[in-house]
Structure formats: C-alpha cells, structure tokens
Structure 1
Amino acid sequence: MTTFVNKLIHKKELFILAMMLEMLHLAIWVDFGSIVSRSFMLSHLGLFLLWQPVWRGDEKLSIENTFLFIVFTLALTLLLNLWLLFAWLILLIGFIGGSVTLDKNERNLYVFALSFVVLELLFACVPELANVKIEQKQIFYLLLPILPIFILFFPGNKPGHQIQMVDFIHSITASMLTSLVSLGSLLIMFINETSYFTALTQTSIAIGSFIICISWLISSQSRFNNVTQLWSSFMLNIGTPLEQWLSELSRFSEKQNEPEEFLEIAVNELLTLSWISGIRWASMDSKGEIGEITRHNTRFITNNLSIDIYTNNMMGGALYVHCNLLVQLVENFYVAKLREKTLTQQTHLKAIYETGARITHDIKNLLQSLQAITSIISHDSSGSSFEVSQQVLRKQLPNLTQRLQLALDKLQTPQDHNIEEIYLKDWLSDVKKRNSHNNITYQEQVNGDPTIPVDLFDSVIDNLLENIQTKQINEPDIEVTISVICNEDIICVMVCDSGSMIPDNISRELLTNVINSDNGLGVGLYQASKYAEKFDYDLKLVSNQHGRVCFELMSNHKSD
C-alpha cells in the first residue's frame, strides 16, 4: 500500500497534466461555448495553475499576479470564443514547447503533450474559425483523448526533481511555427482551392523542409562555416556584444593588480548589461551591492564567488546559460588575480630566502676565515712568528671587513643592493691573498682584463673551497688547483681537487636541488648555481672521478 501511494505521489504532476489536457479536449468538443464547455475550461485553467512552470509550487503569488490570473480566467471562461481559444492554444503551445529539460523521459512527455495541443489547434479550432468542414471529424473527437492517457505511463519525477524554467526563445519559436502552419494551411487552401488536409500537408512539408535546411546550415557539419559563426555569435551575444565585453574585462584585468578591486570593477561592468538591474556579490575577502534590488533574482555560486543577479523579469533558460557564462568568466579572471597575488608574494619570499641563504654562507665563510686567522695566532704562543702573524692580520682584516660590510648591505636592502664589479686580475690577486695560508695551485690563461661580478665569484669560490676543506678532514693530502681562463669569448674559473668522487646519488642533484649531505655539499652550491644564472653564468660539475673532482664557473656571454 505504501509503495502504491509513493508511486501516486511521484506521478502527481503527470496526472495533473493528463487531466488538464483532457479537460481542454472536453471544453472544445462538448458543445463549445455552452455552460458545460465553460465549466470544462474553468477546470482546465485550474489544473493549468497547478501544473504551470512559471511560478514554483512553494512560491507565494503577488497581488498583481493573482489579480491578472483571475481576470484572465474570467475573461477566457465568460467570453469564450474561437479567437480566444486560438490565442490560448498558441500560448499553451509556447508553455509546453518552451520547457527545457535534459531528461529523455521528460522530453518525450512534453512531445506527447505538445502533439496533443497542436492537433487540437489544427483539427478543432482552425477549421471552425475558417468555417471549414472536415470529413470524419468524429474520429479526432474519439482518438485525441487517448494521447493524454499515455502520459500516465511515463515514470514519475525523481526525488529532488527541480521544476524547469520556460525558455523564451523556444516558446516563441514553437508558438510562431504552429501559427504559421495553421494560417499558412488556410491561405494555401483558399488560393489553390484544395482541401484542408491537402493544404495542411503541403504547408507542413514546406515548413519542415525549411527547418531542416536551416538546422543543417547552422550545424558544425555543414560547409557554410560563416553561417554557423553568425548563429553562434548571436547565441553568445544575448544583451551585449560578448567580444566587446571580454575586451573591457581583459583591459581592467591588466590595469588592476588587487583581486578585490578588479572584482568590484567587473561587477560594475556586468551592470552595464541592459537586462541586469542590480547585483549583490560576496567573495572570501569582500562583499558588496550595486544597482537596484528587484524581486527577481538568480544566484550563481562558484568555487570563490557568490553572485546574485537581479532582473526586472524572471530569467529564462537561454539567458541563464548566457549569464552563467559571464559569471564564470569573471570568476576565472578573479582567480587568476588571486594566483598572481599569491605568486608575487611567493616570489618576494623566495628572493628574501635566497638572499638570506647567500648571506648566511658568506657570514659562515667569514667566520671560518676568522677562525683560521685566530688559529695561526693561537699556535704562535711563544711569539716567535709575531711578524708573520701581523702580516697575515694586515692582509686579511681589511678584506674581511669589506666582505662583512657587503653582507650587511645585502641585509639592509636584500633585493636592491648594487652589483659591484671589479677587474678579473684584481679579483684573482685578492683570492691569492685571502688563501695564502692554504696550499692552492693557480693556473692562469688571462688575455685582457674584463670586469666580473665580485659577489658571484667570491660566493662560488668560497663555497667550493669550504667544501674542499671539509673533505680535507678525512683526506688531508688533497691537492687543490684553481684555473682561470679568459679570452675574447669566455671567462672560466675551474676549481679542482684530487680527493674522492662525489657519490652519484648526490652529484645528480647537487646543483639543481637542495640536498642533505655529510661532507659539506648541499644548499651552498645550490644557491651559488641559482645566483650564477642571474648573471648569465653556469656553474657545473665537469669532472667527478677519484683523484679529479672539478667545478667550473663559465660565462654564457662574451667578455668585455
């Protein structure tokens, strides 16, 4: 029993539609214009009010709408005649033909209902208007009521079913085509003096062929691409030229960097559309309202935005699709602005991180240099090498002071510090002085004396020598060679040591990723490699074998 009741509830709309059509049939065929006929018409209009797709079932009718429907009902019932019936049938065809749905069963259902109303118009109303007698008229009277019965065999609405809105373009198209068929049939009948059935057949074939040709012309399978483009442009340009609107939106996107400011401008641009009265929007960081707030609103919710669009009339299906497209475009531009802002922040943080990492290694190298100087002085406890210690201090302290001041300047202006350049020979002489206490062999092939970014070269050399010193803890007999090559085409500095090779799992990612290592390799060389790219230099591991491990810093441009 419960299952049967549930099926009846799900088929309630089907039952109302079937009864509405049956009452219409009886109002037309049972002594049209009499009190009985008017009673059937009144019942038909009452059922139509329950079925109609204009107002939702839970929506409260306004006083104006209620008054208009009562006046319309009284006029159609009390003043019932063939012309009013013709107008009502055309209007009803628009309601049924304009119902947009994606469900196959619902489409078939509306086809049945539409066929019934069209047959009533063509074989009951139009012949009576033109005083045309139809042979075997009783056949239609007996067979037409069978069509609404088939509606009851369709499956009922599923739970959560939403009432479909009436599409204005579909409604107008269905109504006008039906009017054209009916009136065209009468015109051909009177001109050619043929029977009504013959004229109706000729008109239907002609209009059907015309519709098929137009459908083929605007389809993507035809060779008339220009017609297809014109049709597509018309469907997209409901209310405004889409290309112009997109151009304005792109221009605003280029000018505005802040996402919320761009969103406000984009919403104002939406309000320029003639069919939009007001807009209320809300994002994660802002909300606002603009224009006139009317009683007809449609809400569009995306991942980042909630936009209510207010119109003077209820929004139809085609207009809803078009408006949804515009909202999606605004949302995509807005998300792009959010990502751009996030990327800018990440880039800024990355620059600070990279600068901090380089400064950390610079300070670490300075501390190691100070440690080496302190070690020399502390080992001279008897004072026998006092003059040597003083000489080392005089050579190294000014250089350490200069390098420390450079690190402090970077801390104060991490992104805007000036790039200091010195001559290659002066830099090489300075390297020799700084590392005079280390056992390093120098090889020079320098033709000319170009300028180089001292910060980059110092950072690379210090990191490479620091890593070699770490290796010397376990391999004290390592020999170190620094080769400098300079000619018209390249500037190349190569640092080699005779120690053990770098493990393959480390060497593969040594200069491309930050890695963890026990022998001093890791973030220092990675930062040095990235820093070299900014000056159009390459830092590479050119040799990795036992007894010869070489790193090379080479320019990608010609020397000055």
Structure 2
Amino acid sequence: GMAVLLLALSWLWNPRAGFGGLGQITSRYLLSVGLPFEGWAQRLATLAERERDPESFVREALADLHELTWIRGGRWQAARGEGTFGEPAEHALVHSFHGLTLTWQAPRPLTPALALHVRLLSQLLGYFYASKVREQTLREQAYSQAIHDTGARLTHDVKNILQSMKTLIAAADTSTPEDGERLQALMKRQLPQLAARLSQTVDKLKQPAEMDVAQISAHAWWAALQTRYEHDDVQFFAEALDDTPLPQDLFDSVADNLLTNALRKRQREPGIAVEVRLALQPLVSLAVTDSGAPAPEHVARNLFLSPVASDFGLGVGLYQAARQAARVGYRLELPDNQAGRVTFRVQATDSRPQDISAP
C-alpha cells in the first residue's frame, strides 16, 4: 500500500504528459506570493528617494500594501511616532528591526512561506527606516552647525564693532576743548562706517545664506579699512591696487580680528608696531604683522584647527575665520611667529579671482 502511495505521489509531482503536476502548481503558488512582494519592494525604493521624513516614509509604505491580500492591516511604532494601517484582524505577527516595530495582522494564521515574506517585509522597512533616520540626523547636525557658525561669526563682528565704538568713546573722553574740531571730523568719518557695519551684521542675521557672498573692489575696501583704523597708529602698505574683487565678509572679519588682537597685544606690550599689507599679485593676500612676542607653540599649533583658550586674544575668532576662509577659497595661516615679527596672513589658494557666489 505504501509503495502504491509513493508511486502515485511521484507521478502527481512530475507526470509524463498532460497534467502539469503538483510541482508546477507549488511553484506557481510561491511565485504568486512573491510577485506582489517584488512590486511593493520596487515602489518602496521609489518612495525612499522621494520622502525624507522617516515616519512619513513608513506611513506611506504601509498604506501601499493592497496587493498583499494575505495581510489585512496592523500597526507600527518607532521612537518619534506610531500609527496604524489597514484593518484589524485576528491573527498577529510582530517583528522589530532597527528601531521600527511592526505588528502584522492577518485574517488567518500565516503559512511558513508567508511568515517568511512578512519577516522580509519587516527587515526591508527597518533598513529603509534606519537609513532615513540617519539622513535626518545628519541634516539636523548640519543645520545646528550652521547656526553655531553663524552665531559665532556674528558675535565676533559685534565685538569688533563694540571695540571700535569704545575707542571712539575713549578718544572723546580724553579730548580737550582744543581738540573739538579734530574730534568732530573723526566722528563724522567713523560713525557712518560703524552704523553701516552694524547694519550689515543685522542683515547677515536675517539672511545667513547671504554670508560670504558680497564682493568689494580691493581699492574701496582698502580705503575703508584705513579710515576705520586711522586713529590706532597702524601702518598700511599696498602696491598697485585696482578693482580686483575681494570677498568682503571674509576680509572684514579677518582684518578686524587680526587688528583687534594686535591692538590688544599692544596694551600688554606698549610700543610694539602694527602693520597691514595688502597684495594682489601673484596671489591675493592680506597680512597683519606686529613686533611683539610670539604666540606660544601649543597655541600656534592648534590655532586654526580648534577653538583655543588663551590670554592672547586669539581664541575662537581665528578658528571661525579660518573655516570661513576655506569656504571661499582662501587659507588663513601664521607664516612668521618669532620674537619681533608675528605675521598672520589670509591668502587665496588660487591665482584666479574667487567666484564666491557660486553654489
């Protein structure tokens, strides 16, 4: 009897002619289960390219399960959201992958093959969900870094403006009646520039995307810089200036930081000379040199790599300036650091004019 049964089963599985056999029926069944899954997976990949938010991605992906007739509905849960899809059903199967927990509900117990498909569905959704979470985290970190950089730079802009205002106030406090005409001329030159710089800082705060975009001719920028520091006993040297465009935000920020640091250094070391040199050939460069003591080796080594706590007025300002310079094709460096000659220089990395307005 057993032999006859086995013979009948073998013929049914793979008959010689006519009837396709149980083997083909089983294969067709498995393919009919897999094809809707394959179509859903393709739509899932398309959705992943379009949808950026992790929770919205999961919600839309689970709403598109109408072809999987053996799944009635279910619910999902993640760290930042949860929801339901489809309709409730009696039998449930739960899977958790990469921070996403999925409860699948079916009208009847799932066969091992269908249970395997559900597991694959859960893994695929979990992988895509984790990828979306990582993308969102990176975007948030980049946004936070941009806010930090903008705030740090604008803080230093305001500090430099305040320093200039303090200098004007000190000049007024120490003036005599005989200095009235000279003081009035000084105020007329300086106050409009301070007001313009403060207005520019406010504009940057309103539109941080516009930072590093403005350009100014070398001749105009150099004249404005000399006017700002004409009362600070700073020597200015430049040759053959023309209308070569300079990145205004970078040059204003670097010049103010370097000169403020040098003048603060002069308060500790009276009598040191401070000079500024602007060159347009062969590479655009701006250098500020003082005749005081060098920066300590440990400060100089990390000056442009990270914020440095120091008593020399260097701190976070030059770190931010170095990052700003790199973004627009310049490099901030310390080519001389010896007693009697300390030089900071910002220099273009390419001899061509920098197109800082390009994205």
Q: 1:416, CA displacement in angstroms?
A: 4.4
Aligned pairs (5 A) from 1:255-404: 255-380=50-175, 382-404=176-198
Partner residue of 1:533 out of 326, 346, 353: 326
| Matching residue of 1:481 | 275
Structure 1 gaps of 5+ residues are 1-81, 83-124, 131-175, 185-234
Q: Which residue of 1 aligns with 2:205?
A: 411
Change (3 A) 1:300 1:474: same
Residue matched to 1:436: 230
TM-score between both structures, scaled by the size of structure 1: 0.55
Letter in 2 for 1:308: T
| Aligned 8 A contact 1:271 1:279 in 2 | no
Q: Which residue identity lines up with residue 359 of structure 1 in the other structure? A: L
Residue 315 (structure 2) pairs with residue 522 (structure 1)? yes
Q: What TM-score results when the alignment is normalised by the length of structure 2? A: 0.83
Letter in 1 for 2:208: P
**C-alpha spacing 1:395/1:280, structure 2 compared with 1 (3 Å):** same
The equivalent of 1:421 in structure 2 is 215
Query: Which deviations, in whole Å up to 9, do the C-alpha atoms of 1:332-369 show, x marking residues without a partner?
Result: 22222233333333333322222222221111111111
Change (3 A) 1:276 1:427: same
Instruction: Tell me whether 1:456 sits opposite 2:281 in the alignment.
Output: no
Counterpart AA for 1:240 = L
Is the Cα contact below 8 Å between 1:467 and 1:520 reproduced in 2?
yes
Q: 1:240 to 1:470 in 2, by over 3 A?
A: farther
Q: How big is the shift at 1:312?
A: 4.6
Stretch deviating more after TM superposition (349-358 or 317-326): 317-326
SS in 1 for 2:156: helix
Equivalents in 2 of 1:307, 1:398: separation in Å? 64
Give the greater-gyration-radius structure (CA). 1
Matches of 1:321 and 1:177, distance apart in 2: 32
User: Matched residue of 2:178: which SS?
Assistant: coil
Aligned residue runs from structure 1 range 32-51, under 5 A? none
Contact 1:423 1:449 in 2 (8 A): yes
Measure the CA separation in 1 of the matches of 2:234 and 2:7: 96
Deviation at 1:483, TM superposition (A): 1.5
**Number of residue pairs matched?**
341
CA distance in 1 between partners of 2:32 and 2:167 (Å): 77
Tell whether the 8 Å contact from 2:307 to 2:315 is kept in structure 1 after alignment. Answer: yes
Contact 1:239/1:273 (<8 A) preserved: no
- Measure, in 1, the Cα distance between the counterparts of 2:122 and 2:49: 19
Name the aligned partner's letter for residue 372 of structure 1.
Answer: T
Cα 1:289–1:374 change in 2 (3 A) is: closer
Instruction: Give the distance between the partners of 1:237 and 1:413, measured in 2 at CA.
Output: 56
2:34 alignment partner, SS class = coil
Distance 2:338 2:61 in 1: 62
Query: Structure 1's 457 and 252: CA in aligned 2 closer, same or farther, altered over 3 A?
Result: same
1:361-413: CA deviations, max 9, x gaps?
Answer: 11111111111111122112x31222221221122111111111111222333
Identity of matched residues, %: 34
Partner of 1:542: 335
More strand by share: 2
Please tell me whether the aligned partners of residues 442 and 483 of structure 1 are also in contact (alpha carbons under 8 angstroms). Answer: yes
Would you say the 8 A contact 1:529–1:539 is kept in 2? yes
Task: Decide which structure has greater helix share.
Answer: 1
**Aligned with residue 555 of structure 1, among 348, 353, 356:** 348
